[in-house]
Amino acid sequence: MGLLRALGAAARPGWSRLGAAAILGAGVAAGQAPFGFWWLSLLSLAVLIAEIAAEGRRARRLWLSWAAGVGYFALALFWIVDPFLVEPETFGWMAPFALLLMCAGMALFWLLAGWIAGVGRWPFARALGFALGLAVGDLMRSYVLTGFPWALLGHIWIDTPVAQAAAVVGPVGLSVLTAITAALPVMARDRRGRAVLSAVALAVLGCVWLAGSARLNQPVEPRDPPVRVRLVQPNAEQALKWQGDMWRVFLDRQLAWTAQPASEPLDLIIWPETAVPYLLEYSDDLFSEMAAVSGGVPIVTGVQRADGARYYNSLVALDGRGAVIAMHDKSHLVPFGEYIPFGDLLVPFGIRAFAAQEGFGYTPGAAIRVLDLGRAGRVLPLICYEAIFAQDLNRAVGQADWILQITNDGWFGDISGPYQHLAQTRLRAIEQGLPVLRVANTGVSGVIDAAGQLLHALPLNTEGALDVAVPPARPRPLYARTGDLPVAAFLVLALLIVAARRRFAD
């Protein structure tokens, strides 16, 4: 109640200040894909931190932090309206409310950063506190309520050599680097100190950049024997995918591209998420047809399956005769998209539509496990949304040779969503030291090497196939072995030091 009173209208800054804070937040988001303006992001963040640090009144600081968060997530996550526009006549009215609620809710993590800034008594300490608070928010967003680590601050570096630091510190570590680099000039007490700390910030960023460039240039032994794979992208537009006989059109596209002769023998063919229009239990005839047109080359495809009253979003591997030899059920589902949280608890009250067991949602599968695909090697299977959770890959059972992601980014629109999803997949490659082969219904499908570089791609909204060689892996990076624990410990220790400094100062 005290916090609510503190945030009352009487304590609110003027609308012009709130609007300016929101614009700065949007400037910070300009570093996210597909824009990639990391320099604008860093500059906007430094100005925002200065504004927050200069505000000595807690309530106004919280309002400004929240407004900046709203601006940040409004630009970074505006693609959230696109799933509602797949069937606009039914769900279109929900789109603005979804965006508003998402931005307002996610901005609470920035409000938390504004509160954490209060551990510092003076502006320079509040600047550091706010920077650390933003990183704490990114860490919490990665885990709280199943997690949503999308558009983290550190993601602005994915197109630069700085992203290679994720091999050591992970995605939240990149957020720490981003926030503290922007905060350093603001922490100075005078003009001379500002020049010194600005030089320090640039030197730190420059060193990380050079170290990343050196890592990118490190030679890697080629894979021996080579593994050759075909990626099939049918360009199955989501709004048409299940309309009338369009499912047959898209299925025929995939069969046609699968049947194309290859210049060199293939070890595997990959179809995207939900590429099969039947439930797994009724797909035997189609699987036989797929095996026939592939010439006996094994195929991995997305398919839905039922187990009693429960349904799963799955990936299956077929041998050269069309028999299922391996399977992965999507374990990290999209809340409100693929299931309703706690939906099964509503069944005793007669509400069954939201229940995974008796309604229309998916049931999560077991934890991610490495699949042995014979000549194609051992693969870490990911279905769509699973690729944004670094911690899930760290906990995967078994040692993989490469990562295989099938996805349906047709839900995410054409502007930012698919490119942000692709960018995060590139970061997973860096963190795990493993190449990624990514196959999407509408794109972007492609090959990502173990340093996160996109080597080959089928553009968004195009139909086609790519015959590629799986790039070699790198030694397992530190982050894949330690996860987020070291960064979390650093954040706790840093905040304790800032808080203790204030206590002793008092």
Annotated active-site residue 384? The verdict is yes
Q: Which of 103, 330, 386, 431 is catalytic?
A: 330
- Quick check: 436 and 405 in contact, CB under 8 A? yes
- Please list the residues that pair with 316 across neighbouring strands: 301, 327
- Please list the residues that pair with 378 across neighbouring strands: 372
Name the amino acid, one letter, at 364.
P
Annotated active-site residue 207? The verdict is no
Token readout for 262 is: 């290859």
Annotated active-site residue 241? The verdict is no
- What is the Cα Rg of the chain in Å? 24
Name which of 261, 380, 288, 389 is nearest 332 in CA terms.
389
Q: Which of 103, 338, 384, 431 is catalytic?
A: 384
Q: What SS3 class is residue 462? A: coil
Residues whose CB falls within 8 Å of the CB of residue 264, separated by 6 or more in sequence, listed in order: 228, 467
Residues whose CB falls within 8 Å of the CB of residue 495, separated by 6 or more in sequence, listed in order: 116, 119, 129, 132, 136
Could you give the CA distance from residue 120 to residue 281 in angstroms, rounded to a whole number? 61
Q: What is the DSSP letter of 55?
A: -
- Phi and psi at 489, nearest 5°, equal -65, -40
CA distances from 52 to 57, 58, 62, 330 (A): 10, 10, 9, 41
- Quick check: 410 and 242 in contact, CB under 8 A? no
Distance separating the N- and C-terminal Cα atoms of the chain = 27
Q: Which of 273, 338, 386, 431 is catalytic?
A: 273
| Residue burial 270-285, b: 16+ Cβ < 10 Å; e: rest | bbbbbbbbbebeebee
Token readout for 141 is: 């967003």
Where does 7-57 have alpha helices with state H?
Answer: 15-29, 38-54
Residues whose CB falls within 8 Å of the CB of residue 210, separated by 6 or more in sequence, listed in order: 161
- Give the residue numbers marked as catalytic: 273, 330, 384
